[in-house]
Amino acid sequence: MHSAEESPAGIEEKAIKVLIVEDDPGNTKLVRLMLSKSVQPYEAEVAGNIATAIKRMHDDAFDTTLLDLGLPDSQGTDTVLRVHTECPEVPIIVLTGLDDEETGIRAVQIGAQDYLVKGAVDSNLLTRSIRYAIARKRAEEEIKASLREKEELLREIHHRVKNNLQIISSLLKMQAMRIEDRKIVDALLDSRSRVQTMALIHTQLCQSENIAQVEMGNTISKLVEDLLQIYVKEETNISFVVTAEGVNLPISQAIPLGLIINELVSNALKYAFRDTEKGSIEISMSASAGDFIELTVRDDGIGIPEDFEISKTQTLGLKLVKNLAERQLNGEISVNRDKGTRFCVKYNKSILYGGNDE
């Protein structure tokens, strides 16, 4: 047990500014009396309603607020939520006549540091709660600051990786320009496209507010736009539709999926529309029940041979697709030849994966 005079590390022996949010003069007088019994000096101010309290917290710096849940302009835990939303930097101690465990738990969940019941509080308990609420709030802010620093570091790492991948992409392009053999040029440009796909995902992460997740809808749209510029001639009209709303994935899943999309779309652009000047490609990604992610890439081109089996393919691109789907995502891939070509990759995102070393 700590006495009212003991201080958690880091709290200076100076006057603690307390805003008492209470509309009952008798309760206010009692709180002031309990604070006055402490060796620790307190400066207490009273606000009789939430509107006045929030205005004062915006105008001045308070170390904590003692908040009643029954006020003229606010009732219940909505009072806590409103103060925490408007003034998140101020520690909140609920001091109420409502002795209800469920309300107390809810108050702490939405932002209160402590929950005290009037009639069950003395000077020692009240002042100890105030001092430890301030200490916990400071600790929370230090943790948040540390997390922000780590996020900025991760963002910088993604930025540097993206820059390095773009350098590799430029080198592959320069090398391709010096070679006359068309097969070698195509192989270099295909490799460049794969590098650009990985660079794009790192770009999305270093520009995103959420450093841990890639928003797949915008990423896929940008990827397909880049591929159209590379592989589609001006006289060819190829349209595309991307459906991946609300699908956000970690980079460990986004990169394999991005590479799969790169291979399937570039393959369609190179071979599916050779005998036509127009066509369409549809890419959809959805999260279904049971944590399954399903990716579908469909084109309405000339289709693939009837005897095609992806398990026996000899082309590098489709081998890469198969290996990424099965080894990196622990998923499965299927092919449908109805009205063009349709590839479908399905995997469970919650299963630990990482492929094998073969």
Residues 6+ apart with CB under 8 A from 329: 253, 256, 257, 345, 347, 353
Domain contains 191: no
Domain contains 7: no
- Strands, E, within 168-288: which ranges? 214-215, 237-243, 248-249, 278-288
Do both 21 and 118 map to the same domain?
yes
Do both 227 and 130 map to the same domain?
no
pLDDT in tens, 221-262: 999 998 888 887 766 788 899 999 889 999 999 999 999 999
Strand, helix or coil at 48?
Answer: coil
Do both 254 and 131 map to the same domain?
no
Number of domain units in the chain: 2
**What CA–CA distance (Å, rounded) separates 88 from 140?**
11
Output the domain CATH number for residue 25. 3.40.50.2300
Output the domain CATH number for residue 263. 3.30.565.10
Domain contains 117: yes
- For the chain, the distance separating the N- and C-terminal CA atoms, rounded to the nearest angstrom, is 60
Domain contains 183: no
* pTM summary value: 0.66
The amino acid that residue 96 corresponds to is T
Domain residues for 111? 16-143
DSSP, res 120: S
Do both 136 and 225 map to the same domain?
no
Do both 128 and 221 map to the same domain?
no
pLDDT in tens, 158-216: 889 999 999 999 999 999 999 999 999 989 988 999 999 999 999 888 887 788 889 99
What is the phi/psi pair of residue 316, to 5°?
-60, -45
Do both 34 and 118 map to the same domain?
yes
Confidence at residue 309, expressed as pLDDT on a 0 to 100 scale: 82
Lowest mean pLDDT among 238-247, 285-294, 303-312, 348-357: 348-357
**What CA–CA distance (Å, rounded) separates 330 from 347?**
6
Do both 130 and 224 map to the same domain?
no
The first and second tokens of residue 306, run together, are 């009837």
